[in-house]
Chains A and B, each alone.
Chain A
Amino acid sequence: MEPQESSRFTRAAHRIAIAMLAIGAAAMFVFGDRPGTHILPNGAPVHKRVVVSYWEEWTGFEGRAMEHIVNEFNASQHHIYINMVEVSNVNIKTLISTAGGDPPDLVTIWSGIMGQFISYHALTSLNTLVRHHVVTNHTFVPFAWKLCAPYGRLYGLPATTDPNALYWNKILFAKAGLNPDKPPTTLKQLGEMAARLTIIKSDGTIRQAGFLPMEPNWYAPDWGIYFGNHIYDFKTGYFRIDTPQQLAAYRWLQSFSKRLGYQEVDSFQSGFGQFNSPLNPFIDGQVAMELQGPFLANFINRDNPSLIGHYGVAPFPTSFGPPGAATFGDCDIWVIPRGAKHVKAALAVLKFFIQQKNLEYLNDKQAKPSPLMKTSAQYIRRNPNPYIRVFDRISRNPNVQSLPPSPIWPRVNLQMTVMANRIWMGASVISQIRHAQFLADQWVQRENRLAKLRLRQELQR
């Protein structure tokens, strides 16, 4: 290329680059997001309002329920506007945005991450709500309060609660010659009934299972609860995995795979569909009894209405007391991440969210019991879950256990799931739980050492 041509080319390229940048800047100016560009549901623009960015973990009908409350709030006053976004994988995204210093003002998170977020100071304390008597430790059901304020200081507010209970299929009970109105009241009875409800085909494969402790796999680390174990020591921060109760629990779990054959069960389970689909094994009658949360009722209503009235819900049996003497419960929790830009406005939003009518509306739509201790009669009547009274009673039980508020819980939880899987496949129960205990102890000690090191460094600074 001649020098003259070259400089002509450079000039042309310059002009193109500048023109492209100018077009980009103009487009951003015209179409870009600016404060005050949010639109109210009635079409009016939001002027001079504080915009609270809110990440909601649910999509679908659960998300719609939350959206309704958000719209109510936005229409109720002229100072704050909630910009709600439904976010998948909300825990990881909240973590990354908090680490990056640009979190949303308000998030609904899964409770599994509370321990890490609290331990690593990633949440804004909500104690101001306690100081101003907006909430007390008697406002919410005990296990929900414990999840939000595990060591006395409040870091979140419960949005919904999911205590577990036993679902049983009355049609299958009747077919097996069992009283359809009498669920098992002891774990021994549950095993016996499960055996009667299980149907094996002539070729040895399973056609119907009475009860499968590994269906679904979510509750694999929690079976010790029904044998009287408390997995977490709140005083020491250590885990109790190799206790006699755990040993009994996982021997009991293994007895099912020994009886049915884990390969046969696995083959049978591989035909199950998604939890929230008509191919859910309880919904389509492949499994007669199941440990589940209240939300299953919503999917029964939607995917197999013919089952309504033909299934029952009762507290799950325990080895050491009456059914429901202990169970597992979980929550969706509203939190304000550290670094949120509109904390005051977010607190005002939270005050609105936890009003009785709003919490009841949200939990109604999700077929769950309200986290509030005080509930209205119409809420119980209106709830689409026919067994809402049972779940409501269970959730008020002080013996409901929830996820440990430990920063290493996700690691221990995973190890315990692997442990349960291996036990299910025939591994030695003792060696598996001892191994899990050994690892958990090691991780706690390591975490404690690091916490001390961090404290020392902070003091030096």
Chain B
Amino acid sequence: MNERITWREQLAGMAFAAPYLIGVAAFLVYPLAMSLYYSFCNYSMLQPAIWIGWTNYRHLLTDHAFHTALWNTIIYAAISVPFTLTLSLLLALLLNQPMRSAGVYRTIVFMPSLVPLVASALIWQWLFNADKGLINAVLRPVLHVLGREILSPLARALDAGHGTVASLRHIEPPVWLGDPHWAMAAIIFISFWGVGQTVVIFLAGLQDVPRELHEAAEMDGAGAIHRFFNITLPMLSPVIFFNLIMGIIGSWQIFDVPYVMTGGGPGRSTLFYSMYIFEAAFNQLRMGPACAMAWIQLLIILFLTVLAFASARKWVYYA
């Protein structure tokens, strides 16, 4: 068989690959290169860029809003990623149990991921509404009973001051999106809403765990918990690893939900990294610092991913 590729076939191959290569060059490589260049420039988009060296990066060191955005994103990622992973795994384990109508439950868990982010942000905005929201409508009577029947008598019994006893009698639910402390909690809580995709990936992973391993361990007398930690988790570790990487990337790029729900407020308490990049680039026309921030973001994500890969040698098991 003649295995040499004719020039016609080479040409055809290149012609078929060309749209992709042109697309990548025009819409990925070129913008990436230009954004790196602009990160060293003063550039408003309306005037030619001026080379200013490391100034944009140096100014970021003293930019309070940048620090706030960075810190908020770290907090968000540090809490939402592990919690989302744990919750997804627990849900996947539940949905993996043999039961009637399993498909219906799986669909219900997956459905929120199909709702556009802006639409779900608007729905959550109303759910978290302090005055008329559903969450506080449920919390309010619970907190009132808890305060009146348990906490206030307890405080009285412990001889707490009159003010403490009185305040415990009327515990009000939080002003979720208006209070800097609770606003971040609300945004993190919403991240759990979109666990459907992670759950589906976990489910697929769970169904790939060989049955015979479980049966062998069972015959050796291993209980369900032992089997989970010694068989399911190690076999699932590549999937956990994949979801971890995707979670890290996603959490560092959070934009839509806080942008719609809080606009970064109150008092910048929910200003996230990507939101600040957008603000700097398109409202303040500071494309230079925005590009510098984008590159720092890329490096942070790259660093975290490399860190995850380095640690993977110790805990990810490829069968």
Contact = CB atoms under 8 A, between A and B. Distances in A.
A binds B: yes
Nearest to B129: A270
A271 B46 contact: no
A98 B279 contact: no
Interface stretch (A6-14, A33-41, A139-147): A6-14
B193 to A, nearest CB: 20
Interface stretch (A54-62, A64-72, A343-351, A405-413): A405-413
Interface string B295-314: 00000000000000000000
Q: Which of B45, B177, B267 is the most central at the interface, judged by chain A CB atoms within 10 Å of its CB? A: B267
B175 A411 contact: no
B284 interface: yes
A320 B16 CA distance: 74
A269 B133 CA distance: 12
B285 A13 contact: no
Interface stretch (B1-9, B77-85, B194-202): B1-9
Given A95-B46, A96-B45, A270-B130, A10 B8 contact: yes
Contact of A271 (B132, B265, B267): B132
B247 interface: no
Interface in B156-212: 170, 172, 175, 177-180
Contacts of A218: none
Nearest to A420: B267
A220 to B, nearest CB: 11
Contacts of B50: 450, 453-454, 457
A439 B64 contact: yes
A117 interface: yes
Interface string B42-74: 101111001010000001000011000000000
B46 A410 contact: no
B282 A267 contact: no
B170 A204 contact: yes
Nearest to B271: A418
A266 B132 contact: no
A197 to B, nearest CB: 19
Contact of B285 (A116, A418, A457): A116
A96 B278 CA distance: 13
B215 interface: no
Contacts of A203: 170
Contact of B267 (A96, A418, A454): A418
A266 B52 contact: no
A3 interface: yes
A214 to B, nearest CB: 10
A120 B46 contact: yes
A407 B285 contact: yes
Contact of B175 (A270, A408, A414, A439): A270
B54 to A, nearest CB: 14
Interface in B256-294: 265-268, 279, 282-286
Interface string A1-34: 0010011001001100100000000000000000
B149 interface: no
Contacts of B46: 95, 98-99, 116-117, 120-122, 338
A418 B45 contact: no
B85 to A, nearest CB: 32
B9 A6 contact: yes
Contacts of B52: 450, 453
Contacts of A267: 130-131, 172, 175, 178
A425 interface: yes
A410 B284 contact: yes
26 contacts: A3-B1, A6-B9, A17-B15, A92-B282, A95-B46, A121-B46, A203-B170, A204-B170, A205-B131, A263-B175, A266-B130, A267-B130, A267-B172, A267-B175, A268-B131, A269-B178, A270-B131, A270-B132, A270-B177, A271-B132, A338-B46, A411-B284, A414-B284, A415-B65, A421-B265, A450-B50
Given A120-B44, A450-B52, A454-B50, 5 more contacts: A99-B45, A205-B131, A270-B132, A421-B266, A425-B180
Interface of A: 3, 6-7, 10, 13-14, 17, 92, 95-96, 98-99, 116-117, 120-122, 203-205, 263, 266-271, 338, 407-408, 410-411, 414-415, 418, 421-422, 425, 427, 439, 446, 450, 453-454, 457
